Amino acid sequence: MATNIRPMIKNDKAAIEKILHATPEFNSAEVKVALELIDLYLKYGISSDYHMLVAEIGNTAVGYICFGPTPMTEGTWDIYWMAVDPRQQRQGIGRRLLNEAEVGISKTRGRLILIETSSKPEYEKTRKFYESCGHEIIARIPDFYAPGDNKVIFQKKLS
Ligand SMILES: CC(C)(COP(=O)(O)OP(=O)(O)OC[C@H]1O[C@@H](n2cnc3c(N)ncnc32)[C@H](O)[C@@H]1OP(=O)(O)O)[C@@H](O)C(=O)NCCC(=O)NCCS
C-alpha cells in the first residue's frame, strides 16, 4: 500500500504514542516530551512553532516528524524529533518524512537545517540515516547528555 505524507491530526495521536513507546532508543522522559510537543501542535497548529507531519499507510500513521523554526534566527530550522514504526523501518518512510519537511522549510525561505542527536551506539543507525539524507556533522559537544554521551550536530544547507 502507498505511503502518504500529510500534516498530523488529532486522530493520529494514539498510533504515534504507540510508536514512541515501541521505539527502544527513547526513554520515558523523552516520550513524555515528544507527546507534550504533539499536544501543543494539535492545540495551536503551527503557531505553536512546531510543525508535525505523519506518514500513513492505509489510514494508520506509521511515522512522524516534528520540526520548527529556530527561535531568534533568520531561516534556521530544527528537526526536533522523528520516529518510524520499528516494524516499518528501512522502507524509505523516514527519508520521505525528512524530505517533505525540507520541502516545507524551503518554501518558507528556510536556509539551514540543524539536527541534534546522541553519540551513543544505539543512535548509530539514526546518524547513518541523517548522513544518507545529505546532512553532515558540523559539531560535537563532548559529554553533553551524560559523561561519554556527546551531542552530535548535523546540518544541511538548502539552496
Ligand atoms: C531514524 C529513522 C527515523 C529512519 O527511518 P526509516 O524509515 O527506517 O529510514 P529509511 O528507510 O528512510 O532509510 C533511509 C536511509 O537511511 C539509512 N539507514 C536507515 N536505517 C538504517 C540502519 N538501521 N542501518 C544503516 N543505515 C540505515 C540507509 O542509508 C537508508 O537507505 P537504504 O535503506 O536505501 O540503505 C528510524 O530508524 C527510527 O525511527 N529510529 C528510532 C528513532 C530515532 O532515532 N529518531 C531520530 C532521533 S529523534
Q: What is the CA radius of gyration of the chain?
A: 15
How much distance in Å is there from the Cα of 89 to the middle of ligand 1? 7
Closest ligand 1 atom to residue 129 Cα is 16
Name the grid cell of 60: 494508520
What does the pLDDT average to over 65-83?
98
A 10 A CB-CB count for 34 gives 21
Give yes or no for residue 120 having a pLDDT over 90: yes
pLDDT band at 87 (very low <50, low <70, confident <90, very high): very high
Report whether residue 81 contacts ligand 1, using a CB cutoff of 6 Å: yes
In the predicted model, what is the mean pLDDT of the chain?
A: 97
C-alpha–C-alpha distance, residues 53 and 97, integer Å: 7
Report whether residue 99 contacts ligand 1, using a CB cutoff of 6 Å: no
Report whether residue 117 contacts ligand 1, using a CB cutoff of 6 Å: yes
Nearest Cα to Cα of residue 144 among 123, 125, 129 = 123
In percent, how much of the chain has pLDDT > 90?
Answer: 99
Asked whether 127 and 90 are in contact (CB, 8 A), the reply is no
Name the DSSP letter for residue 147.
T
Longest dimension (CA), the chain: 44
Q: What is the reported pLDDT for 1? A: 83
Report whether residue 129 contacts ligand 1, using a CB cutoff of 6 Å: yes
- 112's CB contacts (< 8 A; 6+ apart) are 73, 75, 76, 77, 155, 156, 157, 158
Residue 6, CB-side half-sphere exposure with 13 Å CA sphere: 13
